[in-house]
Amino acid sequence: MANPDIVTLTDADFEVQIKAHPRLLVDFWAEWCGPCRMIAPVLEELAGEYKDRLTIGKVNVDENRQVAARFGIRSIPTLLLLRDGGSAWIQIVGGAPQSDDRRPRWTSSQRDVERTATGG
C-alpha cells in the first residue's frame, strides 16, 4: 500500500488507530479478493479528497483476524464507517457497480461520507 493518505490497520494497533482517527472508513480486504482490488482506486481517491476530514484505513483480514472477528466480517470487501472511537455507523458489503462518474454507487452522492466527515 503506497498511498500515504491510507492507514494500515492491524490487530496490534487497531485500538490506538481508532482513537487517533475519530472518523475512519475501514476497508476489510484480502490480496486474493478481486472486488477488493476493484474498489481500491476509489478508496485512494477518497483518501486524498477527504484527508483533512476523514481517514481511510485498510485491514487485511488474512493477517488480522481479530479485528475482522470483532466486527463480524464474513464477506469482503466490507467497508465500515466508524466514528467516535470505534462505533460502526455505516456498513457496506461487497463491491458495487460503478456509476457514470466512475465511482461505485455507494459513493456517488457522497452524502454519508460528507455527514461523517463533517461530524453530522
Q: Which of 24, 36, 46, 113 is catalytic?
A: 36
33 included as an active-site residue: yes
Residue 106 has pLDDT above 50, yes or no: no
List Cα–Cα distances, 72 to 54, 69, 80, in angstroms: 23, 5, 11
Give residue for cell 482506486.
41
CA atoms within 13 A on the CB side of 67: 28
The CATH number of 6-117, from 3.40.30.10, 3.40.50.10190, 2.60.40.10, 3.20.10.10, is: 3.40.30.10
Average pLDDT over residues 88-109: 53
91 included as an active-site residue: no
pLDDT at 34: 93
Question: What is the model's pTM?
Answer: 0.76
Domain-by-domain residue ranges, the chain? 6-117
d(Cα 86, Cα 46) in Å, to the nearest integer?
20
CB 71 within 8 A of CB 88: yes
